[in-house]
Amino acid sequence: MKTVWVNEKAARELKRGALHVYAQNVLRADANAGDWVEIKHGRETLGMGFYNPKSAIALRLFTWGEEAPEDVLARRIEEAARWKGKLYGDTYRWVFAEGDLLPGLVVDRFGDVAVVKNQCLGLERYLGFVAEELRKYGVDHVYLKGKGAGRKREGLPPVEKWLVGRIGEYVVINEGNARFYVDVVGGQKTGFYLDQRENRTELERHICPGDKVLDVFASTGGFGIHAAVAGGEVTFVELGRAASRMIRRNLELNGVDGKVITADALKTMEKLERKGKRYDVVVLDPPALAKGGGDVEDAKKMYFRINMAGIKLLKEGGLLVTCSCSHPITPKDFVGIVRGAAEKTGRRIQMLGSLRGQAPDHSVYLPQPETLYLKCMFARVE
Ligand SMILES: C[S@@+](CC[C@H](N)C(=O)[O-])C[C@H]1O[C@@H](n2cnc3c(N)ncnc32)[C@H](O)[C@@H]1O
């Protein structure tokens, strides 16, 4: 058995449920990069996982028992399919990496198509096995996708390929009263932001026919399409050309109209404000502006500016739907930022219900606090 010994600090953290051991807490390794190893503190076995001495996260724990990686993968995939299928039928985030105790692995399911992303060196050679497991639950096509910095940090090359089957066109999914095309190959991330599902369907309840809605950072139109289906007159703002084209396709798919502005969000909002445009609803869903490390203060300033710009565009009593998917920005930080932005623009703000978060299939594993990342606030602005 390959073995890696960790120090007292790492042992304490693993016993609390953490899944990561940082490189500085590894004492000795009788293993090579990518090996499935027993993790030990002295004579005590703490669990098993993958080892990568070249990564800042040198060990990723997958199980506290003595198991082969195939057994752990098969078991967790089966468990997740069972409970997530109950909630969502055949479209859900099947594996949310650390959130589902499979560090580094993400799987989104869109009917009979699954998209896999991997950021764990040792797991890479088991992806064929993962794809075969997914097939047991009615998946016929599995696409492997990954270009990000996370793979680079693990020493993994960029990858884009079909592992099983292949589809030539987009998948169509249902979400509440709306339908969406998902471009698993060309789209952002896995092709669709499933994490905002409940927040998007919630928006429908707040829309009256004829409401003027501005969906900023729209991606393929998620929030705005729901608003349009509920009778809103929607303007979408999105920087990406491919995403903007997909908004138009999604409008058509749902038999509704809308205006798409392909441009920078902040500049567009400032321009609309100068022109005197005002909206009943403004949705702000920027990409992750802080990813950890030293960028948190700059990100807070940017969220502040974005929220100020959005609030200024709201009519009296308008609805602000504002989000942050940056895990280093805590829910408390985020509420403070939105409150500050309202104060600075001289508007009064009321949060409607509690602060919302990610969809439940993006499970939050409490010992790995970064798995809680999405904040979404519905607020009324006087
Ligand atoms: C988190 S996604 C939005 C997801 C979307 N609300 C949904 O429900 O599917 C953020 C989007 O912002 C876009 N974006 C990034 N920077 C931008 C900018 N400066 N101006 C406008 N859009 C931008 C990205 O292309 C991406 O589609």
Handedness of CA 143, 327, 84, 322 (dihedral sign): negative
Q: Does residue 226 contact residue 198 with C-beta atoms inside 8 Å?
A: no
DSSP 209-243: TT-EEEEES-TTTHHHHHHHHTT-EEEEEES-HHH
Ligand 1 neighbour 193 (Cβ under 6 A): yes
**Which domains, from first to last, does the chain contain?**
3-63 (2.30.130.10), 69-164 (3.30.750.80), 184-381 (3.40.50.150)
Mutate to test the pocket of ligand 1, among 217, 250, 373 (most ligand atoms within 8 A of CB): 217
Q: How far, in Å, from the CA of 187 to the mean position of ligand 1?
A: 12
Q: How far, in Å, from the CA of 20 to the mean position of ligand 1?
A: 30
Query: What is the Cα gyration radius of the chain?
Result: 22
Ligand 1 neighbour 324 (Cβ under 6 A): no
Q: How far, in Å, from the CA of 285 to the mean position of ligand 1?
A: 6
Q: What is the pLDDT of residue 60?
A: 98
Taking the model in full, what pTM does it have?
A: 0.96
Q: What is the C-alpha to C-alpha distance for residues 278 and 223, in angstroms, rounded to an integer?
A: 18
Q: What is the pLDDT of residue 148?
A: 83
Instruction: Tell me which of 120, 208, 323, 325 is the catalytic residue.
Output: 325
Sheet (strand 3-6) strand order:
20-22, 57-63, 44-51, 36-41, 3-6, 26-30
For the chain, 382 residues long, the average pLDDT of each consecutive 10-residue run is: 97 98 98 98 98 97 97 98 98 98 98 98 98 98 93 95 96 97 96 98 98 98 98 98 98 98 98 98 97 86 98 98 97 98 98 98 97 98 96
Q: What is the pLDDT of residue 291?
A: 80
Q: Which residue has the tokens 């309840």?
A: 205
Q: What is the DSSP letter of 256?
A: -
Q: What is the pLDDT of residue 51?
A: 98
Ligand 1 neighbour 334 (Cβ under 6 A): no
Atom of ligand 1 nearest to the CA of 196: 8
Ligand 1 neighbour 265 (Cβ under 6 A): yes
Atom of ligand 1 nearest to the CA of 219: 27
